[in-house]
Amino acid sequence: MRPTPSSRCAGSASSTKRMPSWVGFWTLSTRAAPRIMYTLEGGPVPDEYEDPELEGYRGSAPVRWGNGAADQRQHDVYGEVLDCADQWVRSGGVLQPALWRGLSALADTAGRAWREPDQGIWEVRSEGRIFTYSAGMCQVALDRAAGIGDRLGLDGPVERWRSEADDLRQMILTQAWNAEARTLSEHLDGDASVDASLLALSLRGVVPADHPKMVATAAAISERLSAVGGLLYRYRHDESPDGLAGDEGAFLLCSFWLVDNLVGQGRLDEAEELYASLCARANPLGLLSEQINPTTGELVGNFPQASSHIGVIASGVTIARARAAR
């Protein structure tokens, strides 16, 4: 079975003023670089190894323990943390000085990190590249840090963060754009490859869903990564080698991202139709897997998968709000 990315989501901030659980990491050590995943106890994830005694679900060996991507560089983590902090502040939460120092350091790191290759949100095991989505999440980190600093009147280079965020957004729209393929590229160098994480740029406010280049990108992904019935692959392995053997099914979360983009483009009826078809793929208990076999419709991959259910909730809320606004 192919290793797949760990579930990461900024989530909704609490309505109380109790400090969120992720604060502990930064109050313990504001100088440490964040890992992309932790154990439930907050420690490092064990090294990955294969278990030859287990055959896996329906013979899907090899079975792996641990996660070989635990020490990867994935620059989207900076935006994940700062976006979460921004939601916390917007809900009335407060930031302790030690935590703000750690968050400020993250924003500064994001302002440099986007220029360097990483393994991206899909945790590829091949050589790193400068992924457009990773750069986009660094833009999110800078933007949110500037917003938090402004909102709370905190010390920090707010204007520099804001300027760097604006410059990075513009760079994504120019350097990642492939005019011939009419899409933003998977990589910041503007090559012709695409991956479905580009759909999430609009969800994070990097590029509006109704921006012409975002509309064109959503259309390109819908066509080039299409499986069947609104299902999408994360990327094409022949165009985007990931260093892993084997095939995979359509990735459900990507289709929910498409739902949100359709809503943002004002195509609400199409979004509702796609959303209903995705929800109808749940098993009798209402549970969804990570992936769908496009040929058989079988639920495959991690099951149940948090990211798929996050898609159900997030897209459902997006559709409901758009319908209410009509």
pLDDT band at 302 (very low <50, low <70, confident <90, very high): confident
Does residue 76 carry a pLDDT above 50?
A: yes
Cα dihedral sign, 83-87-88-90: positive
Instruction: Write down the pTM of the prediction.
Output: 0.83
Q: How confident is the model at residue 42 (pLDDT cuts 50, 70, 90)?
A: confident
Q: Per-residue confidence at 195, pLDDT binned at 50, 70, 90? A: very high
- Residue 19 or 89, more confident: 89
Confidence tier at 25 by pLDDT (50, 70, 90): very low
Phi-psi domain of 153 (left: phi exceeds 0; alpha: psi -120 through 50; beta: other)? left
Q: Give residue 10's pLDDT.
A: 35
Whether 77 and 108 have beta carbons less than 8 Å apart is answered as no
pLDDT band at 36 (very low <50, low <70, confident <90, very high): low
Rounded to 5 degrees, φ, ψ at 173 are: -70, -25
Is the pLDDT confidence value at 287 over 70? yes
Higher pLDDT, 299 or 13: 299
Distances, alpha carbon 127 to alpha carbons 123, 192, 235, 237, 275, in Å:
11, 18, 16, 14, 35
The residue type found at 141 is: A
Mean pLDDT of 132-153: 95
Higher pLDDT, 179 or 119: 179
What's the rounded mean pLDDT across residues 177-194? 90
pLDDT band at 136 (very low <50, low <70, confident <90, very high): very high
Residue 299 vs residue 247, higher pLDDT: 299
Q: Is 206 helix (H, G, I), strand (E, B) or coil?
A: coil
**Which amino acid, one-letter code, is at 317?**
V
75 pLDDT higher than 70: yes
